[in-house]
């Protein structure tokens, strides 16, 4: 068995740094300092390699993008002690309940601070009471509409069991699975549930295992609950044990017999509606399906593998991302399941930011990182001038950057840097850079970064007016959402997609773990309508290029095949598609 040691995951570190950022912002700290913590937390949450290993091996954390000496020291403190003294200090002079208010998306740290100072509000219950009594609208900067939005968000927050971004859940799941696999009594371990289906957020983890013996082995459950990150043991047994980790995530471990493992993987992967449909098909064939197998009377006729179960039911194997009962079972019965896009199909990235705006790396560093991933091209899409907080570029700066890209393309081999820009869609639907400049770019990515509160009709009209510009190519993060932080703005998505088709425009699946925008249902809508999508990293660091894997997972949940995705094509073919 592997030696046990304190397990501090990247998700744990990111959580602490995010909490520091929230408390500092409530406390009125320097915005740049707050932003540094948030950027560091995002870097860490999506890193594939455990920071704990880097600290243990004495590596310099400041080599990581966005990690300065101060934050590096704090990371080392967290890894070595499991806590952060400065965070404890912040908690000591800000009422502990005040962070509850940050669960309300329409509030945020600044507004929470105002309500604390003006009305003494420190909890969701106090916030709800103040909203119901219409006291919030009397505070400067608030109003009746925001008050109603806050009330609606409170209801959601009170029903909310914390959910983790898929990338955060991966940071928790992977070391736990490695720990379990290191036990010589364990033959196989897999994560099931919403995690396996690739949902954008994950509430808890369902882990299945096969032991090396034919009978239940209580030693496996005992080994599981001794995992160093276990904070609380809820139950333990020969076949099922449940624990809560230091991150707050609950984990269920089930040890199954080998002859039932495939059926159990189907059952515990879900979704519930997919499984109900499968059980009905089994009943129609005179069979019974459960987590222990597919039975005819007392005889088990399938169950060791998922493929065996699906085949016995007369179905092609259905990949976990599709198991939502949205037509995949009918397609499997007819041999018409899609051949889903994979990361290997991607030829290049269509949105990345350099240090010229709000990125961390130079254009050359981004290009070399893209080449290392096997890409043929990468697009530099620094922000336009309207987005001042991101140090957006004016027309002269964009021209200078285009010249720099020409020089780099003349020198670099096996990678092409495409000239692009992420151009703000202004409130009236005009674009933030002049047409003569847009016409000289290879790709024009357009985004909404302001006026999120327009009505559905106004927001839809605004974006369609922007699409009328002949240089508009791709609508980035089309609903503007940030998971757990900001609700999508209101927009008629079907109308937008039809407008894009009419005008020769496209939309994006933004791969950032807290965006994944478009969502899976909208991605499927695009496929149904015939609208091709880009899968872009929206990288702000060279290492961020790897987050494109999350966008691919989202695309697969939306049934997308390689032909449905713009950047599965080489640049000459893509260039032809972009011409309007």
Evaluate if pTM is beyond 0.75. yes
Residue 155 and residue 168 share a domain: no
Distance CA 500, CA 463 (A): 10
DSSP classification of residue 161: P
Residue 168 and residue 150 share a domain: no
Residue 228 and residue 292 share a domain: no
More confident residue, 66 or 422: 422
Does residue 543 lie within any of the structural domains? yes
More confident residue, 43 or 203: 203
Tokens of residue 230, six digits: 């276990």
Residue 145 and residue 192 share a domain: no
Does residue 170 lie within any of the structural domains? yes
Q: Going along 83-239, which residue ranges are E strands?
A: 164-165, 186-191, 201-202, 205-211, 230-235
For residue 91, give its domain range. Answer: 10-159
Among 255, 279, 303, the domain-final residue is 255
Q: Which domain CATH number covers 321?
A: 3.30.210.10
Please identify which residue in the block is written with the tokens 């981004």. 366
CB neighbours of residue 425 within 10 Å: 27
3-state SS, 401-448, equals HHHHHHHHHHHCCCCEEEEEEEEEECCCCCECCCHHHHCCCCEEEEEC
Q: Which domain CATH number covers 32?
A: 1.10.150.110
Does residue 1 lie within any of the structural domains? no
For 228, phi then psi, to 5°, come to: -55, -25
Residue 181 and residue 57 share a domain: no
Residue 143 and residue 65 share a domain: yes
CB neighbours of residue 408 within 10 Å: 17
Does residue 309 lie within any of the structural domains? yes
Among 333, 367, 395, the domain-final residue is 333
More confident residue, 24 or 283: 283
**What total of structural domains would you count in the chain?**
4
Q: What is the pLDDT of residue 2?
A: 41
Residue 59 and residue 124 share a domain: yes
Residue 318 and residue 230 share a domain: no
Q: What is the pLDDT of residue 161?
A: 62
Tokens of residue 450, six digits: 């302001």
Residue 369 and residue 446 share a domain: yes
Please identify which residue in the block is written with the tokens 């364990």. 186
| Mean pLDDT, residues 140-153 | 90
Residue 112 and residue 17 share a domain: yes
Chain segment 448-477, per-residue pLDDT in tens? 999 999 999 999 999 999 999 999 999 999
Residue 513 and residue 375 share a domain: yes
Q: What is the pLDDT of residue 205?
A: 97
Chain segment 288-334, per-residue pLDDT in tens? 999 999 999 999 999 999 999 999 999 999 999 999 999 999 999 99
Chain segment 543-559, per-residue pLDDT in tens? 889 999 999 999 999 99
Among 159, 174, 208, the domain-final residue is 159
Cα distances (angstroms) measured from residue 67 to each of 42, 71, 205, 360: 11, 6, 30, 10
Residue 318 and residue 433 share a domain: no
Q: Which domain CATH number covers 496?
A: 3.20.20.140
Residue 160: band (very low, low, confident or very high) from pLDDT cuts 50, 70, 90: low
* The dihedral sign for the CA sequence 446, 451, 455, 458: negative
Distance CA 213, CA 238 (A): 12
Chain segment 253-268, per-residue pLDDT in tens? 999 999 999 999 999 9
């Amino acid at each position: 068995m592997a030696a046990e040691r304190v397990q501090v995951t990247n998700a744990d570190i990111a959580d602490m740094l995010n909490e520091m950022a929230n408390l500092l912002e409530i406390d009125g700290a320097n915005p740049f300092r707050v932003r540094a913590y948030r950027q560091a937390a995002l870097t860490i949450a999506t890193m594939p390699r455990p920071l704990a290993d880097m600290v243990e091996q004495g590596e310099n954390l400041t080599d990581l993008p966005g990690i300065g000496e101060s934050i590096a020291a704090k990371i080392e403190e967290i890894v070595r002690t499991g806590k952060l003294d400065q965070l404890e200090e912040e908690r000591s002079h800000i009422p502990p309940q005040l962070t509850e208010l940050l669960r309300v998306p329409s509030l945020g740290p600044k507004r929470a601070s105002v309500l604390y100072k003006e009305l003494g509000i420190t909890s969701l219950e106090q916030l709800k009471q103040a909203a119901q009594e219409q006291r919030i609208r009397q505070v400067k900067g608030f109003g009746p509409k925001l008050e109603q939005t806050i009330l609606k968000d409170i209801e959601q927050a009170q029903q909310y069991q914390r959910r983790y971004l898929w990338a955060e859940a991966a940071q928790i799941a992977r070391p736990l699975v490695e720990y379990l696999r290191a036990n010589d009594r364990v033959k196989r371990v897999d994560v099931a549930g919403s995690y396996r289906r690739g949902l954008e957020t994950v509430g808890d983890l369902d882990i299945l295992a096969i032991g090396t013996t034919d009978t239940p082995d209580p030693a496996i459950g005992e080994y599981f609950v001794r995992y160093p990150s276990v904070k609380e043991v809820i139950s333990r047994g020969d076949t099922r044990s449940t624990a809560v980790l230091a991150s707050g995530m609950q984990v269920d471990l089930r040890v199954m017999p080998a002859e039932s493992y495939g059926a159990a993987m189907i059952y515990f992967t879900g979704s519930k509606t997919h499984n109900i449909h499968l059980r009905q098909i089994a009943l129609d064939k005179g069979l019974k399906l459960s987590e222990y197998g597919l039975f005819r009377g007392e005889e088990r006729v399938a169950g060791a593998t998922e493929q065996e179960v699906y085949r016995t039911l007369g179905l092609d194997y259905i990949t976990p991302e599709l198991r939502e009962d949205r037509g995949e079972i009918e397609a499997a019965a007819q041999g018409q399941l899609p051949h889903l896009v994979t990361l290997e199909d991607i030829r290049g990235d269509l949105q990345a930011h350099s240090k010229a705006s709000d990125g961390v790396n130079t254009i050359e560093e981004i290009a070399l990182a893209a080449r290392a991933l096997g890409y043929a091209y990468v697009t530099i899409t620094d922000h336009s001038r309207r987005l001042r907080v991101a140090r957006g570029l004016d027309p002269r700066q964009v021209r200078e950057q285009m010249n720099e890209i020409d020089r780099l393309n003349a020198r670099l081999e096996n990678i092409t840097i495409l000239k692009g820009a992420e151009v703000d869609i202004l409130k009236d639907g005009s674009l933030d850079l002049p047409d003569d400049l847009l016409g000289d770019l290879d790709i024009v990515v357009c985004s909404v970064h302001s006026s999120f509160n327009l009505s559905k009709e106004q927001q839809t009209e605004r974006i369609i007016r922007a699409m009328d510009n002949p240089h508009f190519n791709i609508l980035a993060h089309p609903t503007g959402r940030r998971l757990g932080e900001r609700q999508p703005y209101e927009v008629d998505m079907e109308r937008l997609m039809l407008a894009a088709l009419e005008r020769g425009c496209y939309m994006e699946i933004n791969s950032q773990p807290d965006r994944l925008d478009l969502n899976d249902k909208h991605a499927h809508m695009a496929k149904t309508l015939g609208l091709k999508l880009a899968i872009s990293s929206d990288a702000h660091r060279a290492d961020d290029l790897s987050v494109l894997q999350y966008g691919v997972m989202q695309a697969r949940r939306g049934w997308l095949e390689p032909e449905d995705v713009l950047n599965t094509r080489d640049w000459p073919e893509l260039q032809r598609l972009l011409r309007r």
